[in-house]
Amino acid sequence: MITATATPFLRNRLIRDAIGRAIYEVMKEDNSVHLFGEGSLVKQHYDAPLIEKDFADRVHTLPISEDGDLNFAVGASLLGVRPVIDVITSDFLYRCMDSIANTAAKLNFVNSPGEKPKTIVIRSEFLTVGPTTGQRPEAIFCHIPGLNVVIPSTPRDAYGLMLTALKTRGVTIFFEDRMIADAETRREDRDTEDGRFLGKAIAFGHAAFRRESSQATLTICTYGLMRQVVEKALDVQEALPAVAFDLIDLRTLYPIDWGTLALSTKKTGKLLIIEPDVQYGGVGAEIAATIAENNPVKVARLGGPRQTIPASSYLRNQSMPTEEEVLRAIRHEIHDPRA
Amino acid sequence: MRSGMRSTIPEHSPHEMTALDLYQQMLLVRVLEEELQTLCDTGEGSDMHFNRGQEAIAIGVCAALQPTDFTVTHHRMIAHAVAKGVPLYPLVAELLGKADGVNGGMAGEMHLRHPASGFMHSFQLVGTALPVAAGLAWAAKYYQKIDAIVAVFCGDAATSNGQFHEGMNLAAVQKVPLLVICENNGLAGNVRSPVYLPTKTVAERASAYGIRAVTIDGNRVDEVFRVAKEASAYVREESQPFMVECNTTRISRHKQGQGDLRTKEEIADLAKRDPLLYEEKRLGLGLQEKASLLAATRALVQEVVTKVRAAPAPRFPTP
C-alpha cells in the first residue's frame, strides 16, 4: 500500500544554517557582499539571524520581479558589488533565465583591459513537491557557458562551497537541496561540532569520495539528495561481503571533476550514475558519454522519469530514484542474483 | 558660434562642448556609420544597427552628463559609445571584431563595455538595459556613495517589454539616480507603434511608477542638451529617476541586411527632419564650412577604419 509522505524536509536546517554561516563569515571580511531577493531581510531573520543583526544594511528586499531583480544585481556588480541573489525555489530560475543566461553568464566573457571579473552568486532551492514547486533544472545551467553549478550534499560541503562561490570570479548557481534529511546527516558531515566551526573552503571541481576501496569493482557517481539515498542502499548491499564500491559525490556539476571519475573508473571498469533529476538530457548523460568515449568503462544510468513532478504526496517519491531502485541498479551492476 | 570652429574633430571633453562641437559629434557618428555601412554591405562588418536620424539624442544627452557619469544602452549603440567618449580606434575595432577592440573583439556592438569612459554596457536584448542601469545607479548611490548618475537609453518599443517595467519599478522603489532616455522613433524593427504602444506618449508610462517625465523633440540637439542638463541636475540633486522621451526619426533601416517596409517617400519625408540639417541651419553653416567639416571628418574616420581593417583578428578563446 502506498502511503502519503509528509513534508518534514521543510524543517531541515543543517545545510541552510551552514550556507548562512558561510555568507556571514565572508560578509564580515568583505563589505562588497550584498544580499538581494524577495523578502530577503525576513528570510535572514529566520535563517541567518546573525546576518540580520550585523549586516541588515547589506540585505536588500526587492519586489517580486525575479528577472529584473537579477539584472539589477548584475548592474550593481558592474561597480564592484558581489551580489548574492536568492530566487528561493528553483522554478523562479526559469523566470530569470534571460538575466542569468543572457546577462550574467556573459558578463565575465566581455571584459575591458584592467577590469576585474565579477562575482555573482545565485541561490535557489530544490523541493520536488509539485509541477512548479522546486523542480530540478541543474542540467540546463550546466549547458550554459559562463556558469558554475554547485549542489552540496552535506552541511560541511555547503559551507565550504559557499565560501568558494563568494570568492570565485564568476557566476555561480548555488543549489540547496531541501530534501536532504537532517536526521540522516552524519556527525562528520556537519560544519559545526560543539560550537566549533569545522568547515573549510572547498575548491570547485573537486568531487568527494564518500566511500573508497582499493578492492572496489563499481564506481557509483551521484550528487545532492541522491547521495543520502545511495548511502542507505549501500548500507544494505554491503551486507554482502567481498563487494566494495567507490561512491563519488560530485559536489559541483560545473566544473566537474573528471580526474576523480577517471581515476576510480580506471580501477573498477564500471560506472553507475545515479541522478535525482530527469534522466533524459541530464547531467548523467554527459558524464556517461564523456567517460565511455575516453575509457574502456561500462556505464549505466539511473535517474528520474521525464515527467512533471506531481503535487500529490502519494506520488512524490516517484519523481526520482527510490532507495529500492538504487539497490536494484547496484545489484544489477554487480550481477547480484537479487537484482 | 562660428568663431570657435575647429578644423579637426575635437578631443572628448563632453563637459565643455560648444554647439559646434555637438554638431561635429553628430557628423562623426553619421560619417562613421556610413563608412561602416559599406563594410556591412560587403560582409566585412556584421549587420549593424545604425542611428541615422537619431544622433542628436545620444550627443545631446551625453554632453549634458559629467565625465564620471555612466551610460547603459541597447543594440543601436554606436552614437552612444561615440558620445560617451569611447576611443574611436578600439571602438571601431570592436565593431569589426578585431583583437584591438575595447573588448578584444568578443563583444561586438551589442555587448560592448568600456568602463574607462563610463560606457558600462550595451545589450542586444531589448529592455535589459533598464534593470541593469537601475542596479548600477543603486551601486553608485548606496555602495560606492559617489555623486554619479546613470543615463540609460531605450527605444519606445522596449517599453512594451517586462524588463523595462521591472526596471522602472526597481528604480522608483529604490530611489536611484537614473536618467531614462527614451528614443521614440515609432518603430520596433519594421513594426509600427500601434502594435506595442497603447498610450499617446511613452512619458505617460513613467507616471505609473511615480517617475516624472517630459516629451521633447529629439531631433534638435540644442533642446536635447538643455533638457538633459536640467533633467540630470534633478536626478543628481533629488537622487530620483526621471524620464525624457525624445521623439525622433530613424532614417536608416532597422539593421543592415534587413529590408525596410517603409516607402522611399516616407523615408524622404523623415529625412526632412534630419537633426544635422536642423543644426546646420541653426548654426548658419555655409556650404563651404559644411564641406570642410565633412571632409575632415571623413578623413579621420577613413584613417581609423583603414587601420582597423589591417588589424589582426582575435583568437577563439579557450573555455
CA distance B122 to chain A (A): 11
- How many residues comprise chain B? 319
C-alpha cell at B194: 500601434
B125 touches chain A (CB under 8 A): yes
Q: Cα distance from A87 to chain B (closest Cα, Å)?
A: 15
Share of chain A above pLDDT 90, in %: 83
Tell me the shortest Cα–Cα distance from B225 to chain A, in angstroms.
26
Confidence class of residue A240 from pLDDT cuts 50, 70 and 90? low
Q: In sequence order, what are the residues at sequence separation of 6 or more whose Cβ sits closer than 8 angstroms to the Cβ of residue A57?
A: none
Contacts of A62 in chain B (CB under 8 A): 170
Confidence check: pLDDT of B14 > 80 = no
Q: Report, as an integer, the average pLDDT of A65-75.
A: 98
The CATH 3.40.50.970 portion of chain A extends over: 8-197
The amino acid sitting at A131 is P
Within chain A, which residue ranges are assigned CATH 3.40.50.920?
208-333
Mean pLDDT of A30-59: 96
Each residue's pLDDT tens digit, B15-56: 568 999 999 999 999 999 999 999 999 999 988 999 999 999
Contact call for A72 and B163, based on CB within 8 A: no
Please tell me if residue B131 touches chain A, with a CB cutoff of 8 Å: yes
Q: Do B140 and A79 touch (CB under 8 A)?
A: yes
Predicted pLDDT of residue A3: 55
- Interface probe, candidates A32, A65, A72, A77, chain B, greatest B C-beta count within 10 A: A72
In a domain, B10, yes or no: yes
Instruction: State the pTM of this model.
Output: 0.94
Kindly determine whether residue A71 and residue B144, on different chains, have CB atoms separated by under 8 Å: no
A67, A76, A98 member nearest B139 (Cβ): A76
- Give the residue from chain B lying closest to A33, CA to CA: B143
Q: Is residue B121 less than 8 Å (CB to CB) from chain A?
A: yes
Q: Do B131 and A69 touch (CB under 8 A)?
A: yes
Q: Kindly provide the ipTM of the predicted complex, given to two decimals.
A: 0.94
Calculate the dihedral angle through the C-alpha atoms of A286, A287, A293, A299, rounding to the nearest 10 degrees.
-120
The answer to whether residue B319 sits within a structural domain is no
Chain B contact set for A73 (CB, 8 A): 135
Which helix (H) or strand (E) segment is A61 a member of? strand A59-62
Higher confidence at residue A217 or residue B258? A217
B179-205 burial string, b = 16+ CB within 10 Å, else e? bbbbbbbbbbeeeebeeebeeebbbeb
Residue B13 has a pLDDT of 47
Residue A301 has pLDDT above 70, yes or no: yes
Q: What is the mean pLDDT of residues A44-72?
A: 97
As for how many domains chain B has, the answer is 1
Query: Could you tell me whether strands A192-193 and A196-197 are parallel, antiparallel, or unpaired per DSSP bridges?
Result: antiparallel
Least confident of A52-56, A152-156, A333-337, B185-189: A333-337
Answer yes or no: do A99 and B128 touch at CB < 8 A: yes
CA angle A130-A133-A135, nearest 5°?
A: 90
* Interchain CB distance below 8 Å, B170 and A74: no
Place of cell 548592474: A75
Superfamily of domain A8-197: Thiamin diphosphate (ThDP)-binding fold, Pyr/PP domains (3.40.50.970)
Hey, is the C-beta of B136 within 8 angstroms of any chain A C-beta?
yes
The answer to whether residue B66 is domain-embedded is yes
Cross-chain Cβ contact B162/A67 below 8 Å: yes
Chains A, B: CB pairs < 8 Å: 113
Which whole-number Å values give the CA distances from A319 to A5, A238, A304, A310, in the listed order? 13, 26, 5, 8
Among B94, B110, B117, B143, pick the best mutation site for testing chain A contact (most A Cβ within 10 A).
Answer: B143
B210 touches chain A (CB under 8 A): no
CA distance B284 to chain A (A): 41
Residue B12 domain flag: yes
CB contact under 8 A, A109 and B106: yes
In this model, does residue B11 exceed pLDDT 60? no
Comparing alpha-carbon positions, the chain B residue that sits nearest to A71 is B132
Residues of B in contact with A99 (CB under 8 A): 128, 131
For A75, the closest of B124, B125, B139 (CB atoms) is B139
Cross-strand pairs, A219: A246, A271
Chain B hits for A109, CB-CB cut-off 8 Å, are 106, 111, 317
- Domain coverage including residue B300: 2-310
Q: What pLDDT does A128 receive?
A: 87
User: For A208-333, which CATH class?
Assistant: alpha beta
Q: Name the residue type at position A288.
A: A
Q: How far is A111 from chain B (nearest CA, A)?
A: 6
Domain harbouring B114, CATH code:
3.40.50.970
